[in-house]
Structures are given as structure tokens and as C-alpha cells.
Amino acid sequence: MPELCPRFDDRALRCWLALSLLASLIAPAAASELRNSAIVKAVHDNESAVVNIHGHKTVRAENASFGTPPAVRQVNGMGTGVVIDARGYILTNYHVVEGVSNIQVSLADGKATVARLVSNDPKTDLAVIKIDTKEPLTVIRFGTSCDLMKGEQVIAIGNAYGYEHTVTRGIISALHRNVQVSDEQKYNDLIQCDASINPGNSGGPLLNIDGLVIGINVATRVGAQGIGFAIPIDETLEIAARLVSTERLEQTSHGIIGKTRCEPGQKQFVVSTVRSESPAGKAGLKSGDIITAVGTHTIESGLDVELALLGSKPGQDVEIEVLRDSQTVTTKLAVTPLSKTTKNSALADKSWTTIGLKMAVMDQDEFKGLSTRYRGGLTVLDVRPGSPAAQQGIRRGDILVGMHIWETISLENIAYILERDDLSKLDSIVFYIIRGADTLYGHMRLATRTTP
């Protein structure tokens, strides 16, 4: 007798067909979700705020003279930077742009432009450069380095060996590393990771899995694999705030002295001191105030404060919002010129017309970080084209520490030197500047007549 076949259930068939169709629809969506991982999202959210830096730098012999041609060689430089302000301010490592006369920057969309060095701090190896842009740039998203954990995933984006916007990933291998990379350069309290950090990655971001910058990549261990280092972002932002301060870049003062308070999930800028008779004092700001907004800018750090006030004109009111005793208080602040007296203005004019330099007194704490035998100096803010200073190659960012036999710690020192009767008997006057890790000198012929 033939074996009887079981009766086929039409309902079962319909269910099977429906499930098959559903599976065919779900599978591609699930695969897409798996591919669009947290790492992919982090890169996508930040890539447009990362720039690639190229340039040629001239390496001079130490303590070279401007008067005699030094032994030089040309080297190709490459590095990375992160956009910290939509107007074109970019943070990078100082060693990436040190000595580079023509800083080439390429954006994520392929556009290339030239940047200028705005400010630098050789001790911490950080610098700010600026490009001119018609369209606002995408700004990098900052996190905090106060809650980092060994073993957590990190992502690096950089111009590795000139391969632009290279992405690597790894984990945090250790925290609080002190690294000596040369006789002149030592880094403290670095993040160590095993994400591939190669030449060209310097100045680029180290991201956490949420896509927030937790460090600026700075160094590798030569000959080692999987050992790279980054400057913690909390420290980086404090230094960046000084580099782009209104006092440093625009010679205007707001009188706010504070500290960024970093906690897991929250960053706040807390006012610690208000300078007497300053715009902040007149605006009624007090120690302990938490600044939450300046104009249209949300404030989380000291860098935010400086960038929000950068570009505001003296006398122009800017609305400030603070949190005081759990209450929101709103006031207005207008920056004032750093040097308001006629005397200082005259001294500045004398320097500009005679030698072609616009200068400002360098902060003493910052100057001490240079570890030099000099007691202080004047930061070069601008150089007049065709002036004696320009002819000798002095450039913006240099620090003038001496002329002839005198130190140049203040503008009064410059006036004293330039007004001496015996100066006219000299064919030229020797000057000394600090540029990066080098102390350079040259001989300058003073202008015989003033130039407006």
C-alpha cells in the first residue's frame, strides 16, 4: 500500500511566504544598521571639521645669524588641524607649522587655501592658524578628558604620511604618560593609545566612540607599533583660550579671569576673578558666576568666551548671561582697548614708524614657559611691509627680547632705545628674537625717516 502523504495546510504556506518576504525586507536594513556603526557616525560627524596641512620648512642651524647665511635644508612638512571657529581659526601642533612660510591647508571638500600663523605656544606644542573663508566652516565637537577609561575605544583622523583624512581606531592604552621626544621637547600627562598615529597625524583629533574630541594627537614612539600619544583636550582648550584671547590677538580687554570646570557629561566656565575697573567689573560680573552665553554663543569653556568676544569692537555692547546662585542673570559688556593711554599709543606709533613693528608685552607666565635666560619680551603682532624689521625677516609671532645692549621687556624700553642720541652713530643695531625653540639675531638699519 502506498504511503499516505500529509495534507498540506494552505495557512501554513501563506505564513511561510509572508515570513520569507518579511525576512527579505529586514535583512538589508539590518545589514545597513550594522555597517553604520558608532565609528562610522563619529567619522561622518567630524570629518568636515578636520583639515590637512602641508608645507615646506627651512631648518636652520641653532642660534643662526640673520647677518650671515646659515646652513639650511628644506624638508617637507605635513600635519592635521581641527577647526575651532567657523571664521577659519584652526588648532594644530606648533611643530607642524613651525618654520613654514607658506602653510597650505586643504579642507575635507578638497578646497585648498593658504593659512597664516596667528599664535603659538612652543612649550605645549600648540598653535592656532587662520584661513580666510567666505562660508562658515564646520567646527569640531569637543568632549572632555576628565573621565577617560583605559580600554575605551578611540578614533584618530589625520593626514597620515600625506594620505589625507586617514581614519584609524584603537583603545586607550594608558593615561598620564610623560614623554620626552627630544632635548627641547617634553610632553606631560599624555593619553596613550594604540590607534595608528603616524607622521602627519600631528594636530589631528582623537575621538571617543561618541564622536567627541578627547585629545589632540601629537607624537608616536619611533620604531614601536601601536604606541601613540595625544594631549588631553581639557588642557588643550585652556591653552587655546590663551592663544586666541582678545588681549593677544586684538589688544582689547574684557577683564574676565576664570577656569573651565570639567565633569563627566558637563563643562562650565566659572569666573574666578574680575579685574577691577575692567569691562567685566563694570558689567557686574562676580567671582563664582557661571557664564552660560555670550551674545549668540553658548559657553562651556574659556575658549568659547574668547572666541565669542573676538571681533567685537571697543564700546560695542555684548549680552552676557550667567548663572548666579541658581538664578539666571543677564548683563552687557563692552571690551576696551588694552592700551588706552596716549603715552602707550605714542610708544606704539614710534615702534611702527621707526622699525616697522607692532608689539605687545608678553604675559610673564607664558614667557617663563619658554625656558630662556631672558627676563621678558615683546610679541610681534604685525610687521610693516618694506620696513627695517621686514627686511631682516622678522615676522608675526616672533618675540623680541633685546636690541643693542638692552632688554626689550616693555614698550618703554623700545622708546628709550630709539630715542638715544648715540644711536644715530651706529650703522645698524643688533636685535635678538625668540622663534620657537631658537634664539636668532640680526643687524637692523633704522629708518632715516618715518613712514606712515
Q: What is the DSSP letter of 49?
A: G
C-alpha cell of residue 373: 635666560
CA nearest to 241, candidates 395, 388, 89: 89
Instruction: Identify whether the C-beta of residue 443 lies closer than 8 Å to the C-beta of residue 376.
Output: no
Parallel, antiparallel or unpaired: strands 186-193 and 163-180: antiparallel
- Helix (H) and strand (E) counts for the chain? 11, 26
- Confidence at residue 64, expressed as pLDDT on a 0 to 100 scale: 43
Fold of 46-131: Thrombin, subunit H (2.40.10)
Q: Which of 125, 289, 304, 398 is catalytic?
A: 125
Backbone torsions φ then ψ of 122, nearest 5 degrees: -60, -35
Q: Is the distance from CB of 435 to CB of 394 less than 8 angstroms?
A: no
Helix axes 302-309, 233-243, angle to 10 degrees: 30
Please indicate whether residue 202 is annotated as part of the active site: yes
Task: Tell me the CATH architecture of domain 245-337.
Answer: Roll (2.30)
- pLDDT reported for residue 420: 72
The whole-number pLDDT of residue 276 equals 74
Give yes or no on whether 46-131 and 342-444 have one common fold: no
Using only C-alpha atoms, what is the Rg of the chain? 28
pTM of the model: 0.71
Q: Which of 54, 95, 165, 254 is catalytic?
A: 95
What's the pLDDT at 62? 46
CATH of 342-444, one of 3.30.70.100, 3.20.20.80, 2.30.42.10, 3.40.50.300: 2.30.42.10
The whole-number pLDDT of residue 413 equals: 83
391 is written with which cell numbers? 627686511
User: Would you call 125 a catalytic residue per the annotation?
Assistant: yes
Q: How far apart are CA 228 and CA 191, in angstroms?
A: 8
Reply yes or no on whether 95 is catalytic: yes
Element (H, E) at 354: helix 342-354
- Residue (of 70, 72, 67, 42) closest to 57 by Cα position: 72
Q: Which CATH superfamily is domain 153-233 in?
A: Trypsin-like serine proteases (2.40.10.10)
Q: How far is CA 217 from CA 113, 207, 446, in A?
A: 23, 10, 44
452 residues of the chain, pLDDT tens digit each: 455 555 556 676 676 666 676 666 666 666 577 788 999 999 999 999 999 999 876 555 444 444 444 455 556 678 999 999 999 999 999 989 988 878 999 999 889 999 999 988 888 899 999 999 989 999 999 999 999 999 999 999 999 888 899 999 999 999 999 988 776 678 889 999 999 888 889 999 999 999 999 999 997 776 667 889 999 999 999 999 999 999 888 888 898 989 999 888 889 999 988 887 889 999 999 999 999 999 999 999 999 999 999 999 998 999 999 999 989 999 999 999 875 444 455 566 678 888 889 888 887 777 887 878 888 899 998 888 888 898 899 998 899 998 888 888 888 888 778 777 666 677 788 899 998 878 888 888 775 433 33
Q: Which of 145, 173, 202, 351 is the catalytic position?
A: 202
Q: Which cell is 85 given?
A: 571657529
CB 72 within 8 A of CB 62: no
pLDDT given for residue 312 in this prediction: 93
The domains of the chain are located at 46-131, 153-233, 245-337, 342-444
Q: pLDDT value at position 124? A: 87
- How far is it, in rounded angstroms, from Cα 409 to Cα 361? 7
Using an 8 Å Cβ cutoff, are 160 and 196 in contact? yes
- The DSSP element (H or E) to which 95 belongs, if any, is helix 94-97
